[in-house]
């Protein structure tokens, strides 16, 4: 593996200084953005950014920290979304947040089942076997219309976003709702990576035989990683469905979505919570810039199909260029830049 | 620095032998080193045979290691030494034979069960966790002491906090003990080889094992580094009172450290006894000097 | 009974086509250690280029030669601009790079030739013929024949030629191969070109079956369970695995599918491969690798 350097407290600075940027960012996100942002910013950029970041955090726990590559993230997003939808639909008076949590728990349970092959398979064998989750879940959600309350094509519609009597059903409301959920779960994930369990994830990833020689149950660690990761990815899926798209069908959680989440993790940086946000920012904003740029440069000379294909080439090329230039991801780049500025 | 350290440890060891604990080795009263019993068999192997595919790695190996002794396993390359260690801590399951540790049958029960029974080890090719700092590697050695569950750890509930603090304290003590304090927050991958070996020893000691397995702890070290590590092993034994089984090529080191030597050649036990007895054994001389090696 | 046999033969024949795609993966994996996800895009590009040329009145043989040339150029470009700069990166990074590559190739194919569906007629009648009392699709038979010949040619190439020998040396041990003077980039080029040829042949066969369109690149998803079953590094595994998956899938489609209301072909192969591995963790031909510790 590459140098999976975890962020270290910078020497010569007090511990709180390292957390200052995060505190500042949160203050801006909660205190400034809601007042200055417009609908486009919330609906088209920030809400999908937050949901994808959370999915990236979830997958990073599994792939970056515990070293188990999954190509089925979108399936766990779908399970989270559809399970939340059904819990809220079918249990009278169930609070929204409880519905989200139950959706996450369902995703964790499904993740546990599809994580079982990890006890025997490694590397690409495991990665490919997680595709079983991807295809099976998508098939089941489309096939059995019970999951979508009888909708023939499996489409579900978001429940009202109301927590403790406060409605979040506006652009800024959906943004704040996502922000709260993502901030809380990210904090939990960050705490996890600093705990004994988080260290055992890394131990199993780096040297599984040495880990078990220390009494760490490799089996338990792997399954726990699948469960915790799937929980977070599942809640991210529910956010994606309820706060961003608001009507969603199983096809919205296809293999491309899974690859997208994996891109976020790789481009952001493996084993880095911050990296998931950087990667998600890249993935959300970059295509917007590209299509704006394409329209500005080429105008209406070409149809949308041409533009779409050109965009595909550029995105693919950039991914390759990025991997060559910065294999350790954006978080390593940022770490280098901040270090240089501090010294 | 190295020399200073080795002197310090040698002094400490001498003092401990005399029943005096120097300040830098003193521990809490309830954590005093367990008494050393010499004589009871702690580890017994009976008729262990191991093969990979058709290749015989170990043939009918049997021996006993007494509580508190240092047993060295020596032999030419490919004699099956590492395989034997891997059988002892349950990584390999032998085709026949038994591994008894403290009367428990650990045969093929896996490394985790061996660890739970009180066996810790280091590896021939250093097996540190590259993504963790030096201190976190050592803290990981205390994994078995953790009882707090997922939510306790995420929420930082009292039990999780207490266990984390205890593990960290123990790791700090070991860092001190092995003169690694200056490197606590460094990434292990960036350390020189000799220091990595030392971190791995600290990680194994963090588990407070009854039996410590060391697979070529001094391979690739300079004479000075070897001396330092020998002293560290002796000091650790004096302090923690565990039994040591080690694989080592340097005969000088072996003679200096061990009470008991087992000689393997082509997967067979060819000698088993005190250093003096083994040194004069004609079969051992043959294996080391004879044609074909 | 005849019906069962018919289904089985049909499954085996389409299995040969799975094998062919899977072998494209194996070639790359053995030498570069990467799961080349761009294989599907290469396949699409080859089929699309060929069919577009034929539609533009280019003679069959010339179109084949031009497409082949394009595949060679692509292979060279991949080696030079993707693989070489990423040497020594972890497998997951390389995998991501091939994903990026598949975007580039997919985008380029459609930009170049448009996104409409093309029919591809290789001049083979799809009418079933009767043999030994059962009906078999002529096209399936033809496709299986071509795929089989292709597999045989590859096997001969890697057994009998110098490049093939170098390939096997690299697959066996990269460092050792380098030390005896094998030039790694040259082997890579040869292998990526070979994979391009495989992509061309399988692209034409699959294109004739399914129509040449974007979804052709998803044929890779059919090959992946074959690889899990047979091993990413085993040509024999790819062949037998393809046959098994092909047969199992067809049987399941006919006998199990109706129980679920159909549509199970998307995931059945994966679940079948996993179930097989649960019983036999080392796969079809994989040796149980003993990890050195």
- What are the pLDDT digits (tens) for B22-77? 333 333 333 444 444 445 789 999 999 999 878 889 999 999 999 999 999 998 88
Q: Per the structure block, which two tokens stand in for C292?
A: 């050195």
**ipTM of predicted assembly, 2 dp:** 0.84
Beta bridge partners of A198: none
Higher-pLDDT residue of C55, A16:
C55
Judged on CB neighbours under 10 Å (0-12, 13-18, 19+), A309 is buried
- Sorted by sequence, the CB contacts under 8 Å of residue C214 that are 6+ apart come out as C44, C106, C110, C115
Q: Which helix (H) or strand (E) holds B43?
A: strand B41-52
Does any domain span residue A285? Answer: no
Partner residue facing C111 (CB), from A124, A136, A310: A310
Residue of chain B nearest C290, judged by CA positions: B52
Does any domain span residue C72? Answer: yes
Q: Per the structure block, which two tokens stand in for A312?
A: 């595909």
For residue C34, what are the domain limits?
Answer: 2-217
Once rounded to an integer, what is the mean pLDDT over residues C180-184?
69
Please report residues of C whose CB lies closer than 8 A to that of B86: 293
Total domain count, chain A = 1
Residue of chain C nearest B123, judged by CA positions: C293
Is residue B165 less than 8 Å (CB to CB) from chain A?
A: no
- Sorted by sequence, the CB contacts under 8 Å of residue C270 that are 6+ apart come out as A128, A129, A131, A132, A135, A136, C224, C225, C228
Does any domain span residue A236? Answer: yes
Does any domain span residue A90? Answer: yes
Helix (H, G, I), strand (E, B) or coil at B243: strand
Does any domain span residue A48? Answer: yes
**B62 C-beta neighbours (distance < 10 Å), count:** 13
CA dist A108 and A27 (Å) reads: 31
Q: Which helix (H) or strand (E) holds C163?
A: helix C162-172
For residue A233, what are the domain limits?
Answer: 32-253
Phi, psi of B133 (to 5 degrees): -70, 170
C99, C283, C288: best to mutate for the A interface, most A CBs within 10 A = C99
Does any domain span residue A100? Answer: yes
Which pLDDT score, from 0 to 100, does residue C250 have? 86
Residue B160 exposure: Cα atoms within 13 Å on the Cβ side: 17
CA dist B238 and A214 (Å) reads: 22
Are C293 and B52 within 8 A, CB to CB?
no
Q: How many helices (H) and strands (E) does chain A have?
A: 16, 4
Does any domain span residue A62? Answer: yes
- Residues in chain B with pLDDT values less than 50: 1-38, 291-293
Does any domain span residue C7? Answer: yes
Does any domain span residue C278? Answer: no
B77, B81, B86: best to mutate for the C interface, most C CBs within 10 A = B86
- C117-173 pLDDT, tens per residue? 887 777 766 677 776 667 777 777 888 888 888 878 887 877 777 777 777 777 666
Residue B176 C-alpha from the chain's centroid: 19
Sign of CA dihedral A317, A318, A322, A325: positive
- A73-111 pLDDT, tens per residue? 999 999 999 999 999 999 888 999 999 999 999 999 999
Is residue C289 less than 8 Å (CB to CB) from chain B?
A: no
Total domain count, chain C = 1
> Would you give the end-to-end CA distance of chain C in angstroms?
53
Partner residue facing C277 (CB), from A120, A123, A270: A120
Does any domain span residue A60? Answer: yes
Which pLDDT score, from 0 to 100, does residue C281 have? 67
Are B123 and C290 within 8 A, CB to CB?
no
Does any domain span residue C266? Answer: no
Please report residues of B whose CB lies closer than 8 A to that of C287: 53
Angle among Cα A97, A192, A235 to the nearest 5 degrees reads 30
Residue of chain A nearest B88, judged by CA positions: A213
Once rounded to an integer, what is the mean pLDDT over residues C87-113?
87
Which pLDDT score, from 0 to 100, does residue C286 have? 58
pTM: 0.88
Subunit partners of chain C (3 or more CB pairs within 8 A): A, B
Query: In chain C, which among 105-134 make CB contacts under 8 A with chain B?
Result: none
Assess contact for A80 and A103: CB atoms under 8 A: yes
Helix (H, G, I), strand (E, B) or coil at B215: strand
pLDDT at A58 over 90: yes
CA distances from A23 to A29, A46, B119, B154 (A): 10, 18, 45, 19
Torsion of CA B118, B124, B130, B135, to 10 degrees: 50
CA dist A175 and A33 (Å) reads: 10
Q: Which of A57, A224, A88 is nearest to A163 (CA)?
A: A88
Residue B116 C-alpha from the chain's centroid: 15
Does any domain span residue C172? Answer: yes
Are B86 and C290 within 8 A, CB to CB?
no
Q: What does pLDDT average to over chain A?
A: 87
Does any domain span residue A166? Answer: yes
Which pLDDT score, from 0 to 100, does residue A301 have? 63
B110, B143, B186, B211: best to mutate for the A interface, most A CBs within 10 A = B143
The pairing of beta strand B268-273 with beta strand B55-66 = unpaired
Please report residues of B whose CB lies closer than 8 A to that of A108: none
User: Residue C30: which pLDDT band, with cuts at 50, 70 and 90?
Assistant: confident
Partner residue facing A199 (CB), from B123, B140, B160: B140
Does any domain span residue C256? Answer: no
Which pLDDT score, from 0 to 100, does residue B31 have? 41
Are A313 and C85 within 8 A, CB to CB?
no
């Amino acid at each position: 593996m590459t140098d999976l350097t975890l962020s270290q407290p910078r020497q010569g600075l007090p511990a709180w200084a390292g957390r200052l940027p995060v505190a500042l960012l949160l203050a801006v996100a909660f205190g400034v953005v809601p007042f200055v942002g417009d609908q486009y910013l919330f609906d088209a950029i920030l809400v999908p950014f937050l949901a994808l970041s959370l999915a990236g955090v979830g997958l990073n726990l599994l792939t970056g920290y515990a070293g188990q590559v999954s190509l089925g993230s979108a399936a766990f997003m779908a399970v989270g979304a559809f399970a939340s939808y059904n819990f809220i639909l079918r249990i009278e008076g169930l609070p929204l947040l409880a519905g989200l949590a139950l959706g996450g728990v369902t995703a964790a349970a499904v993740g546990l089942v599809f994580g079982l092959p990890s006890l025997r398979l490694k590397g690409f064998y495991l990665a490919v076997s997680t595709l079983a989750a991807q295809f099976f879940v998508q098939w089941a959600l489309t096939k059995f219309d019970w999951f979508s309350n009888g909708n023939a094509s499996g489409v579900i519609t978001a429940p009202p976003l109301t927590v403790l009597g406060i409605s979040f059903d506006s652009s800024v409301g959906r943004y704040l709702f996502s922000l709260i959920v993502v901030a809380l779960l990210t904090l939990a994930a960050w705490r996890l990576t600093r705990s004994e369990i988080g260290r055992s994830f890394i131990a199993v990833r780096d040297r599984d035989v040495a880990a078990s020689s220390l009494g760490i149950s490799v089996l338990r660690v792997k399954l726990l990683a699948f469960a915790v990761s799937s929980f977070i990815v599942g809640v991210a899926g529910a956010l994606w469905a309820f706060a961003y798209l608001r009507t969603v069908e199983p096809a919205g959680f296809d293999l491309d979505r899974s690859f997208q989440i994996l891109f976020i993790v790789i481009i952001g940086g493996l084993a880095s919570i911050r990296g998931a946000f950087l990667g998600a920012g890249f993935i959300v904003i970059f295509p917007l810039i590209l299509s704006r740029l394409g329209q500005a440069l080429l105008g209406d000379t070409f149809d949308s199909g041409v533009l779409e294909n050109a965009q595909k080439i550029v995105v693919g090329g950039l991914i390759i260029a990025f991997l060559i230039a910065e294999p350790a991801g954006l978080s390593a780049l940022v770490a280098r830049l901040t270090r240089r500025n501090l010294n | 620095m190295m020399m200073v350290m080795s002197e310090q440890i040698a002094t400490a060891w001498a003092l401990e032998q005399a029943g005096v604990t120097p300040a830098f080795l003193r521990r809490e009263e309830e954590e005093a080193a367990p008494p050393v019993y010499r004589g009871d068999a702690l580890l017994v192997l009976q008729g262990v045979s191991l093969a990979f595919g058709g290749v015989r790695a170990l043939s009918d190996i049997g021996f006993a290691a007494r509580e508190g002794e240092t047993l060295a396993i020596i032999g030419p390359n490919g004699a099956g030494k590492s395989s034997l260690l891997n059988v002892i801590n349950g990584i390999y399951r032998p085709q026949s034979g038994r591994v008894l540790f403290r009367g428990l049958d650990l045969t093929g029960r896996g490394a985790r069960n061996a660890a739970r029974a009180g066996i810790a080890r280091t590896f021939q090719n250093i097996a540190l966790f590259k993504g963790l700092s030096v201190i976190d590697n050592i803290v990981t050695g205390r994994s078995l002491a953790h009882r707090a569950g997922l939510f306790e750890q995420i929420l930082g509930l009292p039990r999780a906090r207490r266990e984390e603090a205890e593990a960290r304290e123990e790791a700090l003590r070991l860092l001190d003990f092995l003169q690694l304090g200056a490197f606590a927050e460094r990434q292990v991958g960036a350390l020189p080889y000799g220091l990595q070996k030392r971190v791995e020893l600290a990680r194994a000691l963090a588990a407070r094992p009854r039996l410590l397995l060391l697979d070529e702890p001094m391979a690739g070290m300079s004479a000075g580094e070897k001396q330092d590590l020998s002293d560290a092993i002796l000091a650790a034994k004096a302090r923690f009172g565990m039994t040591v089984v080690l694989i080592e090529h340097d005969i000088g080191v072996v003679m200096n450290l061990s009470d008991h030597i087992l000689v393997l050649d082509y997967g067979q036990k060819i000698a088993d006894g005190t250093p003096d007895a083994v040194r004069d054994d004609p079969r051992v001389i043959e294996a080391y000097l004879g044609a074909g090696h | 009974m005849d019906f069962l046999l018919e289904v089985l033969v049909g499954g085996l024949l389409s299995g040969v086509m799975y094998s062919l795609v899977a072998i494209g993966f194996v070639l790359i994996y053995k030498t570069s250690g990467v799961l080349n996800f761009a294989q599907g895009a290469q396949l699409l590009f080859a089929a699309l280029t060929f069919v577009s040329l034929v539609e533009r009145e280019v003679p069959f043989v010339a179109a084949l030669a031009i497409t082949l040339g394009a595949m060679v150029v692509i292979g060279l470009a991949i080696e030079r601009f993707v693989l070489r700069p990423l040497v020594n990166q972890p497998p997951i990074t390389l995998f991501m790079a091939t994903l990026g590559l598949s975007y580039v190739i997919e985008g380029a194919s459609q930009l170049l030739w448009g996104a409409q569906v093309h029919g591809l007629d290789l001049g083979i009648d799809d009418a079933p013929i009767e043999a030994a009392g059962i009906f078999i699709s002529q096209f399936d038979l033809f496709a299986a024949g071509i795929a089989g010949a292709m597999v045989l040619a590859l096997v001969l190439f890697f057994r009998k030629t110098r490049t093939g020998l170098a390939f096997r040396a690299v697959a066996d041990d990269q460092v050792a191969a380098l030390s005896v003077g094998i030039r790694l980039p040259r082997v890579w080029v040869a292998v990526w070109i070979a994979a391009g040829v495989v992509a061309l042949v399988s692209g034409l066969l699959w294109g004739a079956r399914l129509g040449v369109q974007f979804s052709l690149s998803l044929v890779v998803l059919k090959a992946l369970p074959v690889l899990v079953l047979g091993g990413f590094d085993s040509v024999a595994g790819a062949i037998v695995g393809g046959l098994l998956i092909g047969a199992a899938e067809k049987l399941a489609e006919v006998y199990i599918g109706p129980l679920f209301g159909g549509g199970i072909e998307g995931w059945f192969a994966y679940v079948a491969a996993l179930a097989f591995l649960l019983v036999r963790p080392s796969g079809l031909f994989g040796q149980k690798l003993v990890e050195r510790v």
